[in-house]
A and B are shown apart, each in its own frame.
Chain A
Amino acid sequence: MFSESDGNYAPILPGSELPDFSLPTLDGRDIRLADYRGVRLILFVWASW
């Protein structure tokens, strides 16, 4: 599990497994990466600004 309190560490590189993490949807439901095992994911990271 990816912890908020972790110190500096190297980012995940292609070829490595991602640790699980959770984030809320815009309407407040928590989603975990682990819920998407078995699915090919496309993560698109953006911002409103």
Chain B
Amino acid sequence: MPGWQQFYKENYNDSFELMSVAIDVQGADRPLHYIDEACAKFPTLLDKSNKLGRLLGFRIVPNGFLIDENGVLKYREIGKFSIESPSTKQMLVKWTRGSGPDPDNVLDNTEFHQMTIEVRRMFERGLELYEMGMTHQSIDIWKKALELDPDNYIVRKQIWAVENPEKFYSGKIDTDWQKNRL
């Protein structure tokens, strides 16, 4: 997140906007921590039910999408999208200055993956239960959804974060712990 704020500050102008979207069933406080820590000045939206995943086809984060002045999607990158990548940063700087990405140079071999209707309904039912305070029941239904869709890293990691908050929200995210679980 600090890298994004740095990028925003360095390239700020009226013709573009950077918007971050946090996919978090646990509500605004979880992403807000990272936004506050980075003193991020760009808007951040909360997408609890993964509305964008359905629209743009992903079951994993981090992702990047470039949308032009007319609302047309010009570029997508699913998974591993990072401002720390020099080539990504270069493309985004050009974008803020009104050019690119050159369609011929866009390597767009990302496979689209969507939740099936069944898995999505289970995910959303779990979200409703979670919001009613029925955490165990919500985790049960998310685990059933994951059995049907084992490559769904949004559901998988959301379960981890709800079940094991200490591995995610007490200082640094414990990535070794995550690797061991995969």
A8-49 CB contact bits vs B (8 Å, 1 = yes)? 101111111111110111111001011011111111111111
Question: What is the interface of chain B mostly: helix, strand, loop, or mixed?
Answer: mixed
B69 touches A14 (CB 8 A): no
Interface size class of A (residues with CB under 8 A): 35 or more
Question: What is the interface of chain A mostly: helix, strand, loop, or mixed?
Answer: loop
| Chain B residues with CB below 8 A from A33, complex form | 67, 71
B71 touches A49 (CB 8 A): no
| Chain A residues with CB below 8 A from B81, complex form | 44-45
B62 touches A21 (CB 8 A): no
Find B55's partner among A2, A26, A42 (CB 8 Å cutoff). A2
Supposing A44-B18, A48-B161 touch, asked if A14 and B74 sit within 8 A by C-beta, the answer is yes
Find B71's partner among A18, A23, A44 (CB 8 Å cutoff). A18
State the Cβ distance, B116 to closest chain A Cβ, in Å.
7
- In the complex, residue of chain A having the shortest beta-carbon distance to the beta carbon of B101: A14
